[in-house]
Amino acid sequence: MEGVQLVKPSQVKEEAYLEYIKEWQASEEEIIPHASISKSKNYDEQIDIWRKEEQGIGIPEGWVSGSLFFLVNGEEKVLGAVHIRHKLTEPLLKRGGHIGYGVRPGERKKGYATEILKLSLNEARNLGINEVLITCDDDNPGSYKTIESNGGVRDPEDAEENGVLIRRYWIR
């Protein structure tokens, strides 16, 4: 897809980030990935928090380090975000996996989910992650079709959480 790329949070202008968050909030949907939600009122401080989380500094107990990227177009508009977890815990093996991504509500059904996952698989390889686990709810065909179109092979052992079937896919 021409003109879109994954960039580190430090490469995203504050105004573009705030518009991204504002659109999610207006939709009243849960922001995906959660890692893209600011924990600070100061954008520069938040950039530093994300940088430290990538290095494993200051993350809550039981969490893992991860790299956050934003999908932006040529006009520097934030189209979506992806969080790549560097390793997996037992809970992440059931739900969450290595990669969590989301496309802002107004930019869906334009191929960005497929592109963000494709680009994030390259980033995962750069991080030394050669077997990537991605999960999604069974009632989300858009998500599992995106995963399958990027080479996801369904694990025969799905998970379940609160009565929801969770599909588990591996991409090698």
**CATH number where 9 lies:** 3.40.630
> In the prediction, which pLDDT does 90 show?
93
> In the prediction, which pLDDT does 150 show?
97
Domain membership of residue 136 (yes or no) is: no
Domain membership of residue 57 (yes or no) is: yes
Domain membership of residue 165 (yes or no) is: no
Residue 2 pLDDT greater than 90, yes or no: no
Q: Alpha-carbon distance 10 to 61, whole Å?
A: 25
Q: Alpha-carbon distance 52 to 56, whole Å?
A: 6
Domain membership of residue 124 (yes or no) is: yes
In the chain, how many domains are there? 1
The band of 9, judged by pLDDT with boundaries at 50, 70 and 90, is very high
| Domain span including residue 77 | 5-92+99-129
The band of 115, judged by pLDDT with boundaries at 50, 70 and 90, is very high
Domain membership of residue 158 (yes or no) is: no
CA distances to 46, 48, 85, 126, 151 from 78, rounded to whole Å, are 16, 19, 21, 22, 25
Q: Alpha-carbon distance 52 to 92, whole Å?
A: 21
Domain membership of residue 20 (yes or no) is: yes
- Between 20 and 62, where is the model more confident? 20
CA-based nearest residue to 116, from 147, 137, 85? 147
83: tokens are 């969080």
> In the prediction, which pLDDT does 75 show?
96
Q: What is the pLDDT of residues 74-101, one digit of tens each?
A: 999 999 999 999 999 999 999 999 999 9
Specify the 3-state DSSP secondary structure of 87.
Answer: coil
Domain membership of residue 37 (yes or no) is: yes
Q: What is the pLDDT of residues 131-159, one digit of tens each?
A: 999 999 999 999 999 999 999 999 999 89
Residue 119 pLDDT greater than 90, yes or no: yes
| Mean of pLDDT over the chain | 95
Q: 161 has which bridge partners?
A: 164
Percent of the chain whose pLDDT exceeds 90: 91
